[in-house]
Chains A and B, each alone.
Chain A
Amino acid sequence: MLNLPILRWGKPYESMELDEVRHFLTGEPIARVSQANGGLLQRDMRFAPRARQVLREIPIEDLIERVKRAADLYLNGTLAMGDGQQSPQDFVRAQSASTGLPEHMCRANMQKNYFVLTNMDRMLDALTRGLDLHILSRGYGMESRGVVVSYQAQTPAVGLVLPSNSPGVHTLWLPVIPMQIGLVLKPGPQEPWTPYRMAMAFFEAGVPREAISIYPGGGDVGAAVLAACNRSMIFGGTATVERYKGNPRVQAHGPGFSKILLGDDVVDEWEQYLDMMVESVFINSGRGCINCSGIWASRHTREIAQALAERLGPVEALPPDHPQAALAAFTVPGAARSIWQAIEADLREQGVTHVTAPYGPRLVELERCGYLRPVVMHCTSPEVAMAHKEYMFPFVSVVECPQDRMLEAIGPTLVCTAITNDPEFQQALTDATHIDRLNIGPIPTTKLDWMQPHEGNIVEFLFRARAYQIAPERIPASTAR
């Protein structure tokens, strides 16, 4: 069994409090993880400025190259993991064993992280809209169009309160180190693997150890991260998002309520888009905030729901190492059952039909975990509660709604795929402020273009554009690029 220490700016610290990470099927312990206390983290934050300082001593281009080397180490290397070593295959097995994700999905997530790391230069170029990266490093500089601009870092280190159940979210923090900002990571209790492996890959690729801290622990540690870091990201449910709404120090990531809208001009050809709809609902076991949880159309909704149910209803829960396993397990005891009970409660409302019901029971309970097989609901109007639900498994409501009411009725939507050629509808979608990512055309909600910002531009979150006036003769020659 592996012992994973706390990392205090790169230095291992073994706590007297340990949390055991167990295999979700066998109950076998896989790792003992040192647990931090909030005060320990707060005390370490004295050295957060040093994290930025050591990173600023390395030019951003150089850091990007190191991050690219780290990508290869992360994907292919055998890296230190606490008091042991971990090959990529060990990593996949461990991540699957503790999170319940099928192994092939863990491998796919590794590829996603690898892609982001290896394309870091292009991503930063896209996210900064071509800004000379020295300006981030120096805090100011001259743009090619001859204008002095300033981007001021708002924190020397960014805090991340990470989830247990969705390894895909790690892509969000990967650009932080190349922007010369330190990392304070609080891993999810069941997913310590990615933060540790990524940190080890970074260190081996030459990123200074003083730039990264990892503090596994309980709620007090999460609270300490948010209190101690001037910029943090937290992942949670709707309540978490509501709690931090409007707080400029915290970027809260929660449910996506991502949707596909079929315009009146194309809805009669809905069958053409069925594969795209299935992929949006089903890929990655429906766990992500970018998975589609609502398909809205003014007509044919019963046929659409029926066709989705025929594709998704028969899917069975398979062992995590099965190459065809498509469903992730709920590893927290009782979680699958309580979700199913919530769904059953909403089903009592008039206007809701459970279209996957004929394909057998959805709740599958094993000794130490539970599964929920895909669920397709039909809702006769947007007013029913089921039309606005999202769960962390393949779950979708097909909602009947006139096109002219859709935008007012859909509610907050992280990813909206709108299939329409109607220019007025397209413009209204473009102007809708409650839609975050907008796809026009049959693009799966789960297909992200990494060159575009996701849930807020991380550059804008970490740096503030501000006025910086400097007399022309005082502009150092090196900034006049």
Chain B
Amino acid sequence: MTATAPATSPDMAARVKAAREELDRHTYEIVQWHFHPSTGCPFWLEHAKQLKFDPLKEIKGFDDLKKFDLFQDEWLRGGPVRRWVPQAYANKPIYVFETGGTTGTPKSRISIDDFRIDYELFSKTLPDEYFPPGANWLMLGPSGPRRLRLAVEHLCQYRGGICFCIDLDPRWVIKLIKKGWMEHLEAYKQHCIDQALTILDAGHDIRCMFTTPKLLEALALALEKRGQTIRGVGITGIFSGGTEFTPQFTRFAVEELLDGAYMTPTYGNTLMGLACSKPVSAAEGYKITYYAPQPRAVIEVVDFDDPSRVVDYGQTGRVKLTTLTKEFFVPGFLERDEGEREPPYEKYPWDGISGVRPYRALAESTTVGVY
């Protein structure tokens, strides 16, 4: 975050400055929390002993986090998982959420209330017109060890509804793809869609939905075969996510699948929380720009060869994530995605990212768009 954000108006400049000050303040507090023996977690307290600087004294703002080496995702694989639990939360009920894990040990992240806080913040961005308070939801996507099911269910409950859940196991889907069992893959997708159709037919007055792009497409096509549409069966608002949310897919969904239902793409994962998108419109070429839930998480678009350098606006780089909550501290984690750095905008006066897609150097070994 070294390059200066373009200030389009004095008001905007003031917002950007205030957001930055808030981020610096928040960073300081979070580092104090995680590295203080009375509150910090065993991992960071132990890690601090190897550092050549004292985080408690030298991390005063966000830029100071560069003093840490890049966060290694291997640190999250394997136990004991308790080493990530802050001392201050030792007696709280702890969730563990996993990411990866199709082969080998998955990455684990502990959580207490973060997923609720993240999704309550996200809730404030949803237009009531399309996501009516009190409406029932359908969660059609990965559950299992992931955060998503609990988070979506909480979002629904927080908005006063009851959530119906249908599971899809992405680890099995990836195995099917790698084995080339495409007929099984198709059958498994159909199995999920059949369950969704049953729930939608069952008179539960479902108005809102979380689903993945592939399942959204499959559901819309299945409804179309019956002469129905997404909007026609009562769904007014959809939130979805994934790197296959390209402008073309969004346009296709808006023009041909949704029949007027509102859809908002999101970008997120177990480590970060949920980045919201600027409203997507045909007028802007269905461009999707995401903004991290700052100051709880920060996305930087960094140089492929020098991850300490943020690229210029409009330039392409790799996603670097920093998570700053009292439950979990992750400084400088290089994600498996890349995109273009976008300037702050009114609602989110900090950097955003557009064109998110798998990082080119890893793209061939990454199975994307599986669910």
Contact = CB atoms under 8 A, between A and B. Distances in A.
Tell which of A39, A220, A223 has the most Cβ of chain B within 10 Å.
A39
Most buried by B among A35, A38, A40, A243: A40
Interface in A395-423: none
A220 B182 CA distance: 11
B221 A37 contact: no
A42 B180 contact: no
Interface string A208-232: 0000000000001001001100000
A17 B248 contact: yes
B182 A39 contact: no
Contact of B251 (A16, A42, A239): A16
Nearest to B225: A46
Contacts of A227: 182, 186
Interface in B282-306: 285-286
A145 interface: no
A226 B182 contact: yes
- Which label, helix, strand, loop or mixed, suits the secondary structure of the B interface? helix
Interface string A236-270: 00010001000000000000000000000000000
Nearest to A17: B248
Contacts of B246: 16-17, 37
A37 B247 CA distance: 11
Contacts of B247: 16-17
Contacts of B182: 223, 226-227
Nearest to A242: B180
B248 A39 contact: no
B101 interface: no
Interface of B: 180, 182, 186, 217, 220-221, 224, 246-249, 251-252, 256-257, 285-286, 369
A15 interface: yes
A42 B285 CA distance: 23
A129 interface: no
A42 B220 CA distance: 11
B221 A43 contact: yes
A366 B182 CA distance: 39
B251 A220 contact: no
A317 to B, nearest CB: 28
A11 to B, nearest CB: 13
Contact of A35 (B217, B221, B248, B286): B248
Given A16-B285, A16-B286, A46-B224, A39 B252 contact: yes
B248 A16 contact: yes
Contact of B248 (A37, A46, A239): A37
B187 to A, nearest CB: 11
A250 B165 CA distance: 36
A226 B180 CA distance: 13
Interface residues of A, number: 17
Contacts of A37: 246, 248-249, 252
A46 B227 CA distance: 12
Contacts of B248: 15-17, 35, 37
Interface string A28-40: 0000000101111
Most buried by B among A37, A38, A43, A226: A37
B186 A40 contact: no
29 contacts: A15-B248, A16-B246, A16-B247, A16-B248, A16-B251, A16-B285, A16-B286, A17-B246, A17-B247, A35-B248, A37-B246, A37-B252, A38-B217, A39-B217, A39-B220, A39-B221, A39-B252, A39-B257, A40-B252, A42-B221, A43-B224, A43-B256, A46-B224, A220-B369, A223-B182, A227-B182, A227-B186, A239-B180, A243-B180
Contacts of A43: 221, 224, 256-257
Contacts of B256: 40, 43
B252 to A, nearest CB: 6
A223 B183 CA distance: 11
Given A17-B247, A39-B252, 12 more contacts: A15-B248, A16-B247, A37-B248, A39-B220, A39-B257, A40-B252, A40-B256, A42-B217, A42-B221, A46-B224, A220-B369, A223-B182
B238 to A, nearest CB: 15
A282 B256 CA distance: 50
Contacts of A15: 248
A227 B246 CA distance: 22
Interface in A2-44: 15-17, 35, 37-40, 42-43
A238 to B, nearest CB: 13
Nearest to A220: B369
Among B252, B257, B285, the most chain A Cβ lie within 10 Å of the Cβ of: B252
Contacts of A42: 217, 221
Contacts of A223: 182
Contacts of A40: 252, 256
